[in-house]
Chains A and B, each alone.
Chain A
Amino acid sequence: MRTIVPLADAREDAVFGSKAVGLGEAVRGGLPLPPGVALAGSIVEEVASGEEEAIRMVAESVSDLPVPLAVRSSAVDEDGAKASFAGQHLTLLNIRTPEEVGEAVREIWWSANSDSAITYRQRVGLFARPSVGVVVQSLLDPTVAGVMFTQNPVNGADERVIEASWGLGEAVVAAQVIPDLFRIARSGEILERTPGLKKIAIRSLPEGGTYEEQVPAELREALCVSDEELGRLHALATRCEEVYGPARDIEWAIASGELYLLQCRAVTRTGG
């Protein structure tokens, strides 16, 4: 069995985890993703154990990816429809060299085996040994990024709901800003454009890691997504539903004018 594959070849949840397989489906469906590879749970285990050959293989497998890199967990039962594991596992941004990926992989293994992760697993009735795959992708330097629900997650309305902010999408995901809010009807009509208050943008540091950049005053309450870009996001939502099915929770980014899909998973909670 191959334990390191291009994202396009990640097909088995039980080997690579649901995040990797979801991204693999996206690549196979022609969706625009940053390039990357998927690591099977077994090689993640070997890297975490300090097996030198496994560490060398992982470094070699990512050597062709443009740096910096993002290293994300892809636990086998993560992001399932019944219990969202969001926040239980780790994403490490801005890894600067292939040689640093091994250490990042070890940290991700521990995040899946941390006290808080185990407590969470016990709370949701999971008593099996955690298995964690890893996704390594080139990290974009986006001008704007955020999340998009292809169906309103609060009231179930058949409309796209988009939250966006300047810089990396972690500012939106970690609720570090009040993001701009947009709603788009299935017809493509823009229903709402509400500016947020975006005081900071998360950016990559040249030496690795990220920092919070102060957003210039004139941009804090200015809309960060144009109508033309909303049109492209709507098209991305439509394509994601064609590939994956309805009610998707999408992370996206715009870098150098190009729209990228970062993650697409099932919406885990829908209000009534």
Chain B
Amino acid sequence: MPGAPVEVIQQVPLFAELGEEDIARVARLFKKREFIPGETVTKEGSGGAAFFLIESGQAEVSVNGRPRPPLKAGDHFGEIALIDGAERSATITATTDLVCYGLTFWDFQPLVQGDAAIAWGLLQSLVGRLRAAEGEPQ
């Protein structure tokens, strides 16, 4: 079956408000990507092209050269790049064989632009995260 497992995508907050059918459409757009230990997954300051969800393995994270908590199976990163393609805010390096599912800006943008329901679901999710970040009740 092409794409990422639906039940995995359902766990991503950005897609939490989407219905079953829309989740399945998003899941099909994901492509598997593998990194070897020591390989750079994202580099701080570099343009961001994709959102990644870790299926297995571990990665270390640093911001401004300072270590941050590592990433492991089930974690995800880079979702904001899907919307604005902005620079990566952290350097992520695989510390073991790392298997991810990735979704690129190029694949995601047409889906959102062509489907108001998906766009609305994303807006709701983003607003929820904004309120949470500002400490407001949701």
Contact = CB atoms under 8 A, between A and B. Distances in A.
Interface of A: 48-52, 106-107, 109-110, 113-119, 122, 129-130
Contacts of B32: 50, 106
A117 B49 CA distance: 9
Interface stretch (B12-20, B39-47, B68-76, B125-133): B39-47
B116 interface: no
A102 B66 CA distance: 38
A106 B47 CA distance: 21
Contacts of A122: 47
B120 to A, nearest CB: 24
Contacts of B85: 118
A214 B63 CA distance: 39
Contact of B3 (A49, A109, A118): A49
A110 B32 CA distance: 9
Contact of B106 (A49, A52, A113): A113
A113 B49 contact: yes
A245 B33 CA distance: 39
Nearest to B100: A110
A117 B106 CA distance: 13
B48 interface: yes
Nearest to A110: B33
Nearest to A120: B47
Given A110-B102, A113-B104, A113-B106, A48 B31 contact: yes
